[in-house]
A and B are shown apart, each in its own frame.
Chain A
């Protein structure tokens, strides 16, 4: 049972214990640098350990700081340096929480790995499938989108059947100290007060860029760290001469130029996918109608997933652009609660 020290994994552990499983709690130490939760998140580890004590299960701490740096932080920095918008939480779930922890669990003789994600593993056509959590507002199937079918077979997501309120009520009834702990927010290795820019500057030189209005050619300002500008972004972008909102249309790090435009100028009908990143559970098909979710809590969009030598998604309606580096997760057209795969956007 991967225990982060939060309320979700605390309750997930309690449900497994109540169901009669032989459970061992493991907290993953991921980040060795400064963070908002304190040095090596000692407070979170303490919470997880204390919950394990209360539930009567053993608890271990696994050090994955080297792997986290290699598989999550370094690619995050390298992605930004190339003008992409990587999602480190997805990479962490994929490479650390599942790939590495599942391998380790197998070596140590465990049958399954459980986490406190709001999502479910269901059986569909005799195969394990990933489904949205019951609490639509808290659903985390998006960040689990890359799990393979064999991985899903080994994964347990005990709180996927509960709403967040039910999780907290359950934790309170069991007197778990995490019952009212706030949900974790942003990226764990970035301090809220210092922000992404300070973090990125500590790793790489950042590039300043001129913000140019695509249609008028007007210079609307400059940005200090163009690496952190995301295609599709509206926040922090000044309105154009006509007073209408502007959205980021493209980022050219080499040319020091960020182009912005009105919503109707920047929307897209199609994105290209990085073929190496595509995961489809179930039989792969050349063209399939799906629902596509482009961010952790975004609204699914009607779309067609196409594979004609190159992977792409065509949306039924034009949408705000999805930044290269971001992940899109595919949901079944007939049963939109089932996540059937995921991929990284390579170009808008």
Chain B
């Protein structure tokens, strides 16, 4: 086996050395509880607040709006449940509006609330054939009882960038200014200027490991004052919005990874964008291949395609055997490739969706990697046909 050729950045990006270095002091010896009052606690608190300032700056919000969490899934849950939980105490009915292509972190948070809370319901927003959220569908779904609307900044499977400005404007109009707009910016964060791309959103979910930072490190960022219930009350940390001792190393890791991402954004977009075009050109020449959402604006690092008459499990097996690390889409906890709710929402037939492949690139991907994956892909498809 040669390689490995890593084409699974969207699952987790390679850790940055500078992140490891920045985190190192917070992973050995006394790491004081930043809520304490003594000198070592103050040292920890200072690092934590520096990290908060960094994250706030990158997203373009006030530092008080940054809530550190245990990762992206928790951030999304905090956004939806934190807002809806409060809303339902003072309203007869509460609706949550989410797009059909959201990550399961959002979809499952919404459906769990509708299951457990009798006055809460979920409404779903459709996407078009290119996987772009349909603004008319947003308008139809949002009503005066809508507590929160959640549409991701860019999709994690297809890389398709969503019209957050339009979603937010329509959601606010249709709810007469009552609803809060959340955007899961986790997939978009390595590629887009968050201050600009999420400017219209009230709440923004982030996580570190897609940026070259640690796992179990994330933030929910509030663009303004929004009262929300803690998922885990206790201890009063993060202004009472997330109980539990704050992990200084994780916060520093997130901030460092985000800073580095912002610093390198233009250069990485340009370089990987060129690789993306080469990869798409190569893929388009393969028999039975269809590149997904070619007409839509996509993140530079994502190439998604489907292959006629091929099962993803078999293609991934042969790619893995040849050293290519890729995925069909999002993975289930069991490690099995799941049938994609995103492709289903786009109207891709189940037969075609069965043969899907997601190749995601990032700052360390090279031209040689792309050349290699195209050759391996062609050989694998030949073996399977």
Is B383 a contact partner of A40 (Cβ separation < 8 A)?
A: no
Is B333 a contact partner of A42 (Cβ separation < 8 A)?
A: yes
Is A107 a contact partner of B313 (Cβ separation < 8 A)?
A: no
| B30: interface (CB < 8 Å) | no
Q: Closest approach, in angstroms, between the C-beta of B280 and any C-beta of chain A?
A: 26
| A293: interface (CB < 8 Å) | no
| B350: interface (CB < 8 Å) | yes
Residues of A near B314 (CB, < 8 A) are 104, 107-108
Residues of B near A170 (CB, < 8 A) are none
Q: Which of A87-139 contact B (CB under 8 A)?
A: 104, 107-109
- Complex Cα distance, B336 from A228, in Å, reads 33
- Complex Cα distance, B35 from A144, in Å, reads 64
- Complex Cα distance, B67 from A35, in Å, reads 37
Residues of B near A108 (CB, < 8 A) are 314, 317-318
Select the residue from B314, B317, B339, B354 with max chain A CB neighbours within 10 A.
B317
Is B336 a contact partner of A40 (Cβ separation < 8 A)?
A: yes
| A45: interface (CB < 8 Å) | yes
Select B334's contact among A42, A107, A109, beta carbons within 8 Å: A42
Instruction: Using CB atoms, name the residue of chain A closest to B380.
Output: A108
Q: Which of A51-66 contact B (CB under 8 A)?
A: 60-63, 65-66
| B384: interface (CB < 8 Å) | yes
| B368: interface (CB < 8 Å) | no
- Complex Cα distance, B66 from A20, in Å, reads 56
Select B332's contact among A40, A60, A107, A109, beta carbons within 8 Å: A40
| A326: interface (CB < 8 Å) | no
From known contacts A40-B332, A107-B314, A108-B314, infer whether A63 and B337 are also in contact, taking CB-CB under 8 Å: yes
Q: Which of B368-385 contact A (CB under 8 A)?
A: 383-384
- Complex Cα distance, B338 from A202, in Å, reads 23
Is B334 a contact partner of A29 (Cβ separation < 8 A)?
A: yes
- Complex Cα distance, B383 from A104, in Å, reads 12
| A148: interface (CB < 8 Å) | no
What 1/0 flags go to A186-201 for Cβ under 8 Å of B?
A: 0000000000000000
Q: Closest approach, in angstroms, between the C-beta of B336 and any C-beta of chain A?
A: 4
Is A61 a contact partner of B334 (Cβ separation < 8 A)?
A: yes
Q: Which of B340-385 contact A (CB under 8 A)?
A: 350, 354, 383-384
| A49: interface (CB < 8 Å) | yes
| A41: interface (CB < 8 Å) | yes
| B335: interface (CB < 8 Å) | yes
Instruction: Using CB atoms, name the residue of chain A closest to B311.
Output: A104
Report the contact-size class of chain B (Cβ under 8 Å from the partner).
10 to 19
Residues of A near B332 (CB, < 8 A) are 29, 40
Is A66 a contact partner of B354 (Cβ separation < 8 A)?
A: yes
Is B339 a contact partner of A45 (Cβ separation < 8 A)?
A: no
- In the complex, number of A-B residue pairs with CB atoms less than 8 Å apart: 46
Is A61 a contact partner of B335 (Cβ separation < 8 A)?
A: yes
Q: Which of A10-67 contact B (CB under 8 A)?
A: 27, 29, 39-42, 45, 49, 60-63, 65-66
Residues of B near A42 (CB, < 8 A) are 333-334
Is A45 a contact partner of B335 (Cβ separation < 8 A)?
A: yes
Select B336's contact among A63, A107, A109, beta carbons within 8 Å: A63
Is B383 a contact partner of A29 (Cβ separation < 8 A)?
A: no
From known contacts A107-B384, A108-B318, infer whether A62 and B313 are also in contact, taking CB-CB under 8 Å: yes
From known contacts A66-B350, A104-B314, A107-B314, infer whether A61 and B383 are also in contact, taking CB-CB under 8 Å: no
- Complex Cα distance, B337 from A157, in Å, reads 27
Q: Closest approach, in angstroms, between the C-beta of B239 and any C-beta of chain A?
A: 35
Residues of A near B384 (CB, < 8 A) are 107
Is A29 a contact partner of B336 (Cβ separation < 8 A)?
A: yes
Instruction: Using CB atoms, name the residue of chain B closest to A28.
Output: B336
From known contacts A65-B339, A107-B314, infer whether A41 and B350 are also in contact, taking CB-CB under 8 Å: no
Is B335 a contact partner of A49 (Cβ separation < 8 A)?
A: yes
Is A62 a contact partner of B336 (Cβ separation < 8 A)?
A: yes
Residues of B near A49 (CB, < 8 A) are 335
Instruction: Using CB atoms, name the residue of chain A closest to B354.
Output: A66
Residues of A near B354 (CB, < 8 A) are 66
Q: Closest approach, in angstroms, between the C-beta of A255 and any C-beta of chain B?
A: 39
- Complex Cα distance, B380 from A109, in Å, reads 11
Q: Closest approach, in angstroms, between the C-beta of B114 and any C-beta of chain A?
A: 18
- Complex Cα distance, B315 from A60, in Å, reads 12
Q: Closest approach, in angstroms, between the C-beta of B115 and any C-beta of chain A?
A: 14
Is A40 a contact partner of B334 (Cβ separation < 8 A)?
A: yes
- Complex Cα distance, B337 from A62, in Å, reads 7
Is B313 a contact partner of A41 (Cβ separation < 8 A)?
A: no
- Complex Cα distance, B195 from A114, in Å, reads 55
- Complex Cα distance, B333 from A49, in Å, reads 12
- Complex Cα distance, B313 from A108, in Å, reads 10
What 1/0 flags go to A57-83 for Cβ under 8 Å of B?
A: 000111101100000000000000000
- Complex Cα distance, B317 from A292, in Å, reads 41
Residues of B near A27 (CB, < 8 A) are 334
Q: Closest approach, in angstroms, between the C-beta of A30 and any C-beta of chain B?
A: 10
Residues of A near B338 (CB, < 8 A) are 63
Q: Which of A168-192 contact B (CB under 8 A)?
A: none
Select the residue from B314, B335, B339, B383 with max chain A CB neighbours within 10 A.
B335
- Complex Cα distance, B350 from A29, in Å, reads 17
Q: Closest approach, in angstroms, between the C-beta of B382 and any C-beta of chain A?
A: 11
Instruction: Using CB atoms, name the residue of chain A closest to B328.
Output: A63
What 1/0 flags go to B316-336 for Cβ under 8 Å of A?
A: 011010000000000011111
Is B317 a contact partner of A61 (Cβ separation < 8 A)?
A: no
18 contacts between A and B (CB under 8 A): A29-B332, A29-B334, A39-B333, A40-B336, A49-B335, A60-B317, A61-B334, A61-B335, A61-B337, A63-B338, A65-B339, A66-B339, A104-B311, A107-B383, A107-B384, A108-B314, A108-B318, A109-B383
A residues neighboring B (CB under 8 Å): 27, 29, 39-42, 45, 49, 60-63, 65-66, 104, 107-109
What 3 pairs between A and B have smallest CB-CB spacing?
Answer: A29-B336, A63-B336, A61-B336
Q: A63-B336, A65-B339, A107-B383 are in contact. List 11 more A-B contacts (CB 8 A).
A: A39-B333, A40-B336, A45-B336, A62-B336, A63-B313, A63-B337, A63-B339, A65-B336, A66-B350, A104-B313, A108-B317
